[in-house]
Amino acid sequence: MADCLNITDIRAYGYTGLLPEEQTLGQWFTVELKVWLDLRPAAQSDAIEDTYDYSAVIQEIQALIQTSRFKLIERLAEAIATHILQSYAVQQVQVRLTKVSPPVPHFTGSIIVEITRDRPSARSQGIVQI
């Protein structure tokens, strides 16, 4: 599938982290989201019902970041990808999650995890159509 939609710089304050301070005080996260889906229906109809409602997705991702309490950012990225695949008719999702200011001494950079997940096909789920 060649069509894809990118949503960048989704920001939210959350409580994912290994250290107790991260779980209590929280920190900023950003998400870059890429979803693959067929955009032809929306391109032909010009109707929001025929595409991916990215305003709702942004709010859902922000809520996930704000309410989840995981130790690892890998787990938070997986939760976001799983939510997108279960909630929307997309074929594939890529989540790039950034911990903006990780509590690492003498480090001013960011930590980024990037995962790509596909929608499971009926065959891979053990479902055979006759």
pLDDT tens digits for 20-54?
999 999 999 999 999 999 999 999 999 988 888 89
| Catalytic site residue from 93, 99, 102, 125 | 99
Q: For residue 123, what pLDDT is reported? A: 46
All domains of the chain in start order, with CATH: 4-118 (3.30.1130.10)
Q: Are 88 and 63 in contact (CB under 8 A)?
A: no
pTM, two decimals, is 0.88
Tell me what pLDDT residue 52 has: 82
Assess whether 99 carries a catalytic annotation: yes
pLDDT tens sequence across 95-125: 999 999 999 999 999 999 999 999 886 445 5
Rg (CA), the chain: 17
